[in-house]
Amino acid sequence: MTPADQALAAPLDDRDGVIWLDGEFVPWRAARLHVLSHGLHYGGSVFEGERAYDGQVFKLSEHSARLVASARRMGFELPWSATELDAATREAVALAGLAEGYVRPVAWRGSDTLRLVAPDNSVHVAIAAWPWPRIFTDGPRGIRLRTSRWRRPAPDTAPVTAKTAALYALGSLAGQEAEEAGCDDALLLDHRGRLAEATGANLFLVLDGALHTPPPDCVLDGITRRTVIALAHDLGLTVVERHLAPAELDRATEVFLTGTAYEVQPVTAVDDRRYPLGEVGAALAEAYARVVRGGAAVSDGGSSHAVTADDDRGTVADGGSSRTATADDDRAPAPRPGTPAPAPRPDTPAPAVVPGERG
């Protein structure tokens, strides 16, 4: 093991460096919270997963804004504005001397009282940055997903638009079960039984050459997802946001995931289905790799694809002109004649997983 590997293998609470905590940098090992914190007991905690490339956090302002919005969704205000969090994050990355790395801002309700309803509890914020390898060592060769028995809850069951610790119990359970079954990650369905997302990434299917992805009505509105949709438009691809039935996996020619940690991650298996490493995913992965390092501009794909939560018709946007898809996705479309199912690749070893954050 190289010294760098050793540093990465050390427990997260026993490392050198500093962590930004409530407005100041404290020694890494001293960044602690009280055991009676609301955030620990009742899920009164929100967080972000960010990634630095060449010393710059990609989409930093979007992440800070989402952290503030997640806290509001959970009923508390952060004592720092998104702009102040941006500045603190830049400083944390600089002090860590990070070129490539992971950044974890987290905010939680403190230990002033252990009341479940604790609007007056103090709110704390920390930002840690550290070097971090790829999550899937064999990622470029694709990962295997297992459909979970846990489902993403409905918007009237849980605050699904918030990136809150309260929701990640499900992903944690689902991911552990997937790994125990020899897979790399879990694929969660939503409360309706439609395809939702992986434990820390959004889902895309390639169907008839077009990208199809669930609308963010009960999955996280991923910042990478938005970027990839914009990149897809720039590449002249059609993007359809609509609810997808699990059976549509049968005729998908490519499947991939998007997320800050995952980037554009090809999927080679979902349960018994097999997928090749396809051209569409590869083109988007390449475009994404360029854009995160500032090597290419990307149009803002965030706002033009809104699909209402109760509307099963997806919005199709193809290179600027939009039209509404009429696909009734409750019924899985029949397999296209002449589309062979990708051959199983039993000889492909499951990619090893490096323990790391996925969120």
Ligand X SMILES: Cc1ncc(COP(=O)(O)O)c(C=O)c1O
Binding site residues, ligand X, CB under 6 A: 49, 171, 197, 200-202, 219-220, 222-225, 258-260, 359
CB of 58 to ligand X, least distance (A): 10
CB of 311 to ligand X, least distance (A): 21
Tell me the C-alpha distance between 211 and 44, whole Å.
Answer: 36
Residue count (the chain): 359
Question: Could you confirm whether 163 is annotated as catalytic?
Answer: yes
Among candidate residues 266, 243, 254, 276, the one with its CA nearest the CA of residue 209: 254
DSSP letter (8 states) at residue 14: S
CB of 37 to ligand X, least distance (A): 22
Q: Which residue's CB is nearer to ligand X, number 18 or number 198?
A: 198
Among candidate residues 193, 199, 147, the one with its CA nearest the CA of residue 170: 199
Radius of gyration (C-alpha) of the chain in whole angstroms:
20
Q: Which residue's CB is nearer to ligand X, number 212 or number 225?
A: 225
Q: Which residue's CB is nearer to ligand X, number 100 or number 330?
A: 100
| Dihedral class, residue 114 (left if φ above 0, else alpha if ψ from -120 to 50, else beta) | alpha
Tell me the three state secondary structure of residue 229: helix
Residue with tokens 């603190």: 88
Q: Which residue's CB is nearer to ligand X, number 62 or number 112?
A: 62
Phi, psi of 68 (to 5 degrees): -60, -45
DSSP letter (8 states) at residue 327: -
Tell me the C-alpha distance between 107 and 118, whole Å.
Answer: 15
185, 252, 255, 281 from 206: Cα distances, Å: 19, 5, 6, 9
CB of 92 to ligand X, least distance (A): 18
Tell me the C-alpha distance between 206 and 204, whole Å.
Answer: 7
CB of 168 to ligand X, least distance (A): 7
Q: Which residue's CB is nearer to ligand X, number 18 or number 52?
A: 52
Catalytic residue among 38, 90, 163, 358: 163
User: How many C-alpha atoms does 65 have within 13 Å on its Cβ side?
Assistant: 7
Tell me the three state secondary structure of residue 325: coil
User: How many C-alpha atoms does 184 have within 13 Å on its Cβ side?
Assistant: 29
CB of 216 to ligand X, least distance (A): 9
Q: Which residue's CB is nearer to ligand X, number 17 or number 241?
A: 241
Catalytic residue annotation: 163
